[in-house]
């Protein structure tokens, strides 16, 4: 499994997930930058994501919904704060109503993604979620945020393995 560690820090109101991949930082960045690749892994296997808007530029927005095993479709969004391909991404992550408006009854958080090469062909991706309050952190963790993110990121290896299976142009 690619996930190496998940650390929760109630003092700093944060949760950090670290994952390592046999891929370049540029390849790992594509998992965020390409909406079709993003929806293949963002969300746990039982709640796959459908990306309906993908503007991964500062001030842009990503909108999506997940479809649960019983057909429920929680909606969410990212308001993009910072983008530095292929190194980092910062977004405000929140729940949305069906029309895309912010669901103010649910807590939001900010997450920072950092992508760095740790050795040739090996990349570490860290996702640090920061919560606005202890209550927001507790509510999101109680909803399964840690397990969901761990399962979601755990799907990335299969996507990267497909790269090795694709025929190369230089092969006869």
Average pLDDT over residues 76-97: 98
CA gap 37, 157 in Å, rounded: 12
Residue 29 CB contacts under 8 Å (≥ 6 apart), including other chains: 85, 86, 87, 115
Mean pLDDT of the chain: 94
* Kind of pairing between the strands at 3-9 and 14-21: antiparallel
**pLDDT confidence of residue 165:** 66
Average pLDDT over residues 92-114: 96
Helix axes 25-33, 156-165, angle to 10 degrees: 110
Q: The pTM is what?
A: 0.92
- Domain spans of the chain? 3-164
| Per-residue CA distances from 104 to 95, 101, 157 (Å) | 8, 9, 35
pLDDT tens digit string along 32-55?
A: 999 999 999 999 999 999 999 999
pLDDT higher than threshold 70 for residue 171: no
pLDDT tens digit string along 126-140?
A: 999 999 999 999 999
Which CATH architecture group holds 3-164? 2-Layer Sandwich (3.30)
């Amino acid at each position: 499994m690619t996930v190496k560690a998940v650390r929760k820090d109630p003092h700093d109101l944060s949760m950090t997930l670290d994952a390592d991949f046999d891929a370049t930082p540029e390849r790992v960045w594509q998992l965020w930058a390409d909406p079709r690749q993003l929806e293949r892994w963002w969300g746990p296997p039982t709640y796959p994501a459908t990306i309906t808007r993908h503007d991964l530029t500062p001030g842009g927005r990503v909108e999506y919904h997940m479809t649960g095993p019983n057909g429920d479709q929680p909606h969410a969004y990212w308001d993009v704060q910072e983008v530095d391909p292929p190194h980092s991404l910062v977004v405000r992550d929140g729940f949305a109503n069906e029309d895309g408006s912010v669901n103010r009854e649910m807590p939001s958080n900010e997450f920072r993604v950092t992508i760095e090469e740790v050795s040739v062909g090996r990349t570490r991706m860290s996702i640090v979620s920061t919560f606005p309050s202890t209550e927001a952190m507790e509510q999101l963790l109680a909803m399964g945020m840690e397990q969901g993110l761990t399962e979601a990121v755990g799907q990335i290896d299969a996507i990267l393995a497909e790269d090795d299976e694709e025929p190369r142009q230089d092969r006869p």
